[in-house]
Amino acid sequence: MTDLARVRDVLRTQRIETASWAYANSGTRFKVFGQEAVPRDPYEKIADAATVHRFTGVAPTVALHIPWDKVADYADLARHARELGAELGTINSNVFQDNDYMLGSVTNPDPAIRAKATSHLLECVDIMDLTGSRDLKLWFSDGTNYPGQDDVRRRQDRLADSLAEVYARLGDGQRMLLEYKLFEPAFYMTDVPDWGTAYLHCVALGEKAKVVIDTGHHAPGTNIEFIVAQLLRADKLGGFDFNSRFYADDDLMVGAADPFQLFRIMHEIVLADAVGPASGIAYMLDQCHNIEPKIPAVIRSVMNVQEATAKALLVDHDALRAAQDAGDVLGANEALMDAYHTDVRPLLRDFREDLGLDPEPLEAYRRSGYFDKIKAERVGGEQAGWGA
């Protein structure tokens, strides 16, 4: 088999989940700029996600956010997805938008609020039973804004208690993915600020608990691919929330800010033979398309992940390892860079044609008339956003 055939074989196993909320309005604390034709309910979000999959072929599942995507009948929502060629994916909990959560959810000083938050997480597992989702993704906005505001260790204890209760509720084949984030919306202290904290709790919980890496959730200068490698080594990498950033949690399109970093991350993944679903790693996009049209932005993001993966797959591991073992600094770096500098767009065009897709997903999407159709259809009602 040629090298390119091998690359295409691995790319064929790759799955990139998109997020329902990426199709809805989002913004900064200064302003949410509403866009045209934005979905008004989970059904329309799934339609958009299915459209992304139709043109990319590798994004069949869509992550839901509860309560933003609460529906009366999840079986019906799943059927709707299947009819459009898509599937329901990860369930994302939300314990940060109720007024009660001003000072925290599962780490709140008030036991009644903690119980409410845990109860919401358990409800998410109920929904997973209905949707057949494998993964419960937990991101906590919990933290404090001022030194002294609350007690670090007591908050950790509360977190551990809540996680244990939810973990115990997980069924066979269900998992808990714990996300960490340095800051925002809490500004002094975040209860799960780093991979170390997420790892510590996941180890305490057991095998079904894994760490999820959001590529925008680190301090400046953090070597993210190191964390990827470390968690792979410890068998605790549960998945990614892909996006990109220049400063903080900018939630820009993945690969837009630092495509070389994305390549280095995928290089660690390829080294560990973890591109495909057998790895148990969930590859998700978690982005905010505040000023660019959303569906094309998601398509572009999927393509960016594919291109980084293709480049990583082109690394000559034998040459790389030989140079590493020989202490040949420049040679080892060159082995990596040689793949990075390669233009993999022709390869991906071929790959898409093999799949029976248009080689240029963005152009095909633009020609498809989908946007005009939803612009005509989605009149009236309230556009979905982070609040719904």
CB 50 within 8 A of CB 76: no
Residue 69 vs 87, nearer CB to a second copy = 69
CB of 44 to a second copy, least distance (A): 21
Q: Own/partner pairs for 230-235, CB < 8 Å, 24+ apart?
A: 230/195, 231/195, 231/199, 232/268, 232/269, 232/272, 232/274, 234/199
**Up-side HSE of residue 109: CA atoms within 13 Å toward CB?**
8
Strand order in the sheet with 209-214: 18-19, 61-66, 87-93, 135-138, 175-179, 209-214, 237-242, 282-285
Nearer to a second copy, 281 or 320 (CB): 320
Q: Least distance in Å: CB of 163 to a second copy?
A: 14
Cβ proximity to a second copy: between 135 and 249 the closer is: 249
Q: Which residues make beta-bridge pairs with 244?
A: 252
Q: How far apart are CA 187 and CA 145, in angstroms?
A: 5
CB of 366 to a second copy, least distance (A): 10
Work out how close the CB of 187 gets to a second copy at its nearest, in angstroms, rounded to a whole number. Answer: 4
By beta-carbon proximity to a second copy, the closer residue of 75 and 203 is: 203
Query: Least distance from C-beta 174 to a second copy, angstroms?
Result: 25
Give the whole-angstrom CA distance, residue 76 versus residue 83.
Answer: 10
Dist. CA 364–CA 150, nearest whole Å:
53
Nearest CB to a second copy, comparing residues 43 and 184:
184
